[in-house]
């Protein structure tokens, strides 16, 4: 389990990723300005958030949440709970939710509702990868790194059985059982 080996097909090279993250960092800096809080959704977003923060040219603060979902089919049929709350006070703050991937949209939708309840003044969403074909809920994602229609993706924070998060590129892992 700790040393998964599957055939991997390149979807995004490290160079493509770094170029796009650099663009996003400059765009978000320009459009949202300083004094925002980057709120990463653990675990997957930690790699993207680290690169995005360093690509921004305004000071930002950073925090993380961790969500857990229970149910037959992971998030899509389950109940979501927050197992790690933000440590910064978000009341009155401008927050950028940083995700590695938006799939059905249920995780982000749930988190946006929670953040509104915490009194955030403005909340925007930035996802490294968007899979719009899998969306189950109407959702506006303000900043998207890449739109990828299909495939079980790993690398750059994305995992399969907790493996492959460390890879600097994104790959489609060829499985017998496909998730998307």
Chain centroid to CA 133: 17
Residue entry with tokens 């907790």: 162
Q: Which of 51, 100, 103, 130 is catalytic?
A: 103
- What are the tokens at 147? 């739109």
Instruction: Establish if 44 lies at the interface with ligand PRP (CB under 6 A).
Output: yes
**Least Cβ distance, residue 72 to ligand PRP (angstroms):** 14
Exposed/middle/buried for 155, CB within 10 Å: 0-12, 13-18, 19+? buried
Q: Which of 63, 103, 130, 172 binds ligand PRP (CB under 6 A)?
A: 103
Pairing of strands 36-42, 94-102: parallel
Residue 130 as a binder of ligand PRP (CB under 6 A): the answer is no
Closer residue to ligand PRP, CB minimum distance, 93 or 104: 104
Residue in 6, 20, 43, 94 binding ligand PRP, rule: CB under 6 A? 43
Number of chain positions touching ligand PRP (CB under 6 A): 16
The stretch near ligand PRP (CB under 6 A) out of 20-28, 40-48, 55-63, 88-96 is 40-48
Q: For ligand PRP, give the closer residue by CB, 29 or 167.
A: 167
Contact between 41 and ligand PRP (CB under 6 A)? yes
Please tell me whether residue 104 binds ligand PRP under the rule CB under 6 A: yes
CB distance 63 to 39 below 8 Å: yes
Q: Which residues make beta-bridge pairs with 40?
A: 64, 98
What are the start-end ranges of the E strands in 86-151?
94-102, 122-130, 143-147
CB 51 within 8 A of CB 18: yes
Q: Of these, 24, 28, 48, 106, which contacts ligand PRP (CB under 6 A)?
A: 106
Q: Does 40 bind ligand PRP (CB under 6 A)?
A: no
First to last CA, the chain: 21
Q: In the complex, what is the shortest distance from the CB of residue 14 to ligand PRP, in angstroms, rounded to a whole number?
A: 20
Rounded Cα distance, 79 and 167, in Å: 30
Q: Is 130 in the active site? A: no
Instruction: State the catalytic residues.
Output: 103
**Site residues, ligand PRP (CB under 6 A):** 41-44, 75-76, 99-107, 159
């Amino acid at each position: 389990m700790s040393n998964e080996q599957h055939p991997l097909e390149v979807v995004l090279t490290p160079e493509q990723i770094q170029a796009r993250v650099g663009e996003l960092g400059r765009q978000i800096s320009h459009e949202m300005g300083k004094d925002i809080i980057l709120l990463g959704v653990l675990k997957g977003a930690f790699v993207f958030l680290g690169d995005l923060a360093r690509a921004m040219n305004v000071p930002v603060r950073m925090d993380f949440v961790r969500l857990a979902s229970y149910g037959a089919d992971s998030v899509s049929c389950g109940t979501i709970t927050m197992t790690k709350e933000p440590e910064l006070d978000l009341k009155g703050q401008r927050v950028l939710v940083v995700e590695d991937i938006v799939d059905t949209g249920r995780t982000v939708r749930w988190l946006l509702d929670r953040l509104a309840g915490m009194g955030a003044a403005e909340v925007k969403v930035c996802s490294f990868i968007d899979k719009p074909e899998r969306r189950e809920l109407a959702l506006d994602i303000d900043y998207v790194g890449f739109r990828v229609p299909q495939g079980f993706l790993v690398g750059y924070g994305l995992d399969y059985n907790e493996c492959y998060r460390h890879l600097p590129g994104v790959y489609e892992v060829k499985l017998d059982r496909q998730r998307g």
